[in-house]
């Protein structure tokens, strides 16, 4: 009887609702309550899969995720572990609670995953996202875009180049090669609007040095698009951890703005870009080990 009771308890425990777990955004909001945007693949909205209209996280416009595809029969979107590609180590890559968002596409196919923010990206505060892919598309882009509206050409994009490295593209500009490889390991992107017509992108591979690109951007950026242009064999792109954290809240933003103003004063060559950069397309790439601002 005792043994039967124990067995019943074990079975009951097996099928009981899982204990509530702290997700990535719960942890972030606990440490940085002023965070304005956060979503991650471990949000409960994705427990039953990643469907159109899923609206996990906070700081986004109504409507949730939407998907579009060229040759949709050759594409897919789901949740999977980002450790399926790359070096097969056991650090979890960019997973949260064992999973990440995945978009994949085969030959002659392309898939988009779109989400709008509740408000345009703020100044002086980075949008961060982690991406893990080894896709080197034959044509089109694989990476992420920021725009005022997905119906228009993207305003800013980070794509994998034919070199196998991550590149950065903005209007009227040839792609800037960051030198950071797309090798199936996580890369963290931090995009910051540092002026009405300027952005800064920090690209950090797991365990590697940050590369920084300065460029021009002129529109409100309120829309995030992940894109995977296909190939053969099927190409995968994993991503996760979308945040706009504001550590310390308004005071920290003020300090950040002051710091950026000081940075701009030290970079007279950057000041001349502003609006003209959109047509002339100059760029700068620097390494955190040897910042060009000093
Ligand atoms: Ca869902
Ligand atoms: Ca990986
Ligand atoms: Ca790995």
List Cα–Cα distances, 256 to 26, 231, 247, 282, in angstroms: 25, 42, 10, 25
Total number of domains in the chain: 1
Strand partners, 236: 104
Tell me: the pLDDT tens digits for 174-190?
899 999 999 999 999 99
Residue 91 CA to ligand 3 center (angstroms) comes to: 6
Is residue 19 packed enough to be buried (19+ CB in 10 Å), middle (13-18) or exposed (0-12)? exposed
Residues with Cβ within 5 Å of ion ligand 1? 48, 51, 54
Residue 188 CA to ligand 2 center (angstroms) comes to: 13
Residue 3 lies in a domain: no
d(CA 205, CA 183): 10
Question: From the CA of 87, which ligand is nearest?
Answer: 3
Residues with Cβ within 5 Å of ion ligand 2? 82, 85-86, 93, 132, 184
Strand partners, 158: 144, 168
Structural contact between residues 113 and 103, judged by C-beta atoms closer than 8 angstroms: yes
Residue 55 lies in a domain: yes
Cα four-point dihedral sign 56, 114, 257, 159: positive
Residue 55 CA to ligand 2 center (angstroms) comes to: 25
Residue 273 lies in a domain: yes
Is residue 213 packed enough to be buried (19+ CB in 10 Å), middle (13-18) or exposed (0-12)? buried
The enclosing domain of 272 has a CATH number of 2.60.120
Tell me: the pLDDT tens digits for 214-237?
999 988 999 999 999 988 888 999
Closest to 224 (Cα-Cα) out of 80, 104, 63, 25:
63
Structure tokens at 218: 């002129």
Least confident residue range of 167-171, 175-179, 206-210, 255-259? 255-259
Residue 151: what pLDDT? 74
Percent of the chain predicted with pLDDT > 90:
63
Structural contact between residues 63 and 45, judged by C-beta atoms closer than 8 angstroms: no
Widest Cα–Cα separation across the chain: 83
Question: From the CA of 44, which ligand is nearest?
Answer: 1
Is residue 247 packed enough to be buried (19+ CB in 10 Å), middle (13-18) or exposed (0-12)? middle
Tell me: the pLDDT tens digits for 241-285?
999 998 755 545 555 555 555 555 544 333 333 333 333 333 445
Residue 186 CA to ligand 2 center (angstroms) comes to: 6
Residue 125 CA to ligand 1 center (angstroms) comes to: 29
User: pTM of this prediction?
Assistant: 0.81
Residue 84 lies in a domain: yes
Residue 140: what pLDDT? 74
Residue 131 CA to ligand 1 center (angstroms) comes to: 21
Question: From the CA of 78, which ligand is nearest?
Answer: 1
Residue 286: what pLDDT? 52
Average of pLDDT values for 238-242?
98
Range of the domain at 162: 33-287
d(CA 71, CA 2): 59
Tell me: the pLDDT tens digits for 132-165?
998 777 667 899 999 998 777 668 999 999 999 9
Question: From the CA of 182, which ligand is nearest?
Answer: 2
Structure tokens at 4: 């039967």
Residue 103 lies in a domain: yes
Residue 57 lies in a domain: yes
Residue 179 lies in a domain: yes
Structure tokens at 242: 């979308």
Residue 194 lies in a domain: yes
**pLDDT of 46 strictly over 70:** yes
Residue 170: what pLDDT? 92
Percent of the chain predicted with pLDDT > 70:
75
Residue 224 CA to ligand 3 center (angstroms) comes to: 25
Residue 212 CA to ligand 3 center (angstroms) comes to: 23
Residue 128: what pLDDT? 98
Closest to 56 (Cα-Cα) out of 3, 106, 105, 113:
113
């Amino acid at each position: 009887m005792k043994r039967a009771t124990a067995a019943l308890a074990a079975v009951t425990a097996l099928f009981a609702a899982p204990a509530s777990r702290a997700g990535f955004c719960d942890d972030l909001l606990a440490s940085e309550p002023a965070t304005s945007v956060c979503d991650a693949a471990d949000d409960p909205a994705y427990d039953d899969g990643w469907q159109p209209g899923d609206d996990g996280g906070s700081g986004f416009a109504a409507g949730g995720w939407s998907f579009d595809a060229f040759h949709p029969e050759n594409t897919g979107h789901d949740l999977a572990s980002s450790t399926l590609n790359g070096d097969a180590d056991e650090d979890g890559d960019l997973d949260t609670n064992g999973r990440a968002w995945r978009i994949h596409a085969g030959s002659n196919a392309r898939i988009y995953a779109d989400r709008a923010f509740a408000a345009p990206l703020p100044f002086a505060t980075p949008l961060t996202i982690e991406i893990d892919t080894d896709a080197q598309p034959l044509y089109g882009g694989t990476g992420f875009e920021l725009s005022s509206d997905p119906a228009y050409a993207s305003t800013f994009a980070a794509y994998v180049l034919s070199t196998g490295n991550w590149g950065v593209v903005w209007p009227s500009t040839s792609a800037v090669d960051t030198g950071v490889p797309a090798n199936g390991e996580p890369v963290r992107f931090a995009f910051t609007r540092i002026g009405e017509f300027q952005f800064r992108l920090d690209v950090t591979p797991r365990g590697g040095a940050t590369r920084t690109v300065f460029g021009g951007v002129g529109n409100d950026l309120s829309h995030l698009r992940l894109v995977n242009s296909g190939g053969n064999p099927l190409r995968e792109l994993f991503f996760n951890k979308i945040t706009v954290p504001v550590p310390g809240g308004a005071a920290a933003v003020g300090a950040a703005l002051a710091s950026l103003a000081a940075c701009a004063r030290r970079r007279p060559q950057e000041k001349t870009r502003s609006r003209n950069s959109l047509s002339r397309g100059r760029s700068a790439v620097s390494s955190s080990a040897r910042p060009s601002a000093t």
